[in-house]
């Protein structure tokens, strides 16, 4: 299952996160994803989120465009928390699968 974000996600020089990505295991499919990345600390808060669909479910990796959340500060380089919910294959069935973990913003 596509249960990870790539460990490094790229922010632009203005601190915006335009997309997030991660792997899809061979012979598995991803049909839809909703992803969010955020930093939240004393005096600093930043978040970006987005959704994407794949009608046939075939993708060697997933990449999801994101937009900065309303009122968000720019991201800082360093640690951030990422989470996602995706519609994926589980054998012959489809199911929603959620995950989250830390990523590095570079």
Does 18 have pLDDT greater than 90? yes
pLDDT band at 47 (very low <50, low <70, confident <90, very high): very high
Q: How large is the average pLDDT for residues 49-78?
A: 95
- Could you tell me which residues come within 8 angstroms of residue 7 by beta carbon, excluding any fewer than 6 positions away? 103, 104
List strand residue ranges (DSSP E) for 1-106, in order.
8-9, 19-23, 30-41, 44-53, 61-65, 67-68, 78-90, 93-105
- Condensed to tens digits (0 to 9), the pLDDT of residues 70-93 reads 999 999 999 999 999 999 987 789
The pLDDT of residue 1: 56
- The residue with tokens 């989470």 is 83
């Amino acid at each position: 299952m596509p249960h990870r974000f790539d460990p490094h996600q790229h922010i632009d020089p203005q601190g915006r996160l335009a997309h997030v990505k991660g792997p899809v295991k061979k012979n598995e499919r991803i049909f839809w994803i909703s992803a969010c990345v955020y930093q939240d600390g004393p005096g600093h808060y930043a978040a970006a989120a987005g959704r994407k669909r794949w009608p046939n479910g075939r993708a060697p990796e997933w990449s999801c465009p994101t937009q900065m959340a309303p009122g968000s500060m720019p991201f800082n380089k360093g640690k951030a928390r990422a989470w996602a919910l995706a519609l994926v294959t589980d054998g012959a069935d489809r199911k929603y699968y959620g995950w989250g973990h830390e990523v590095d913003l570079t």
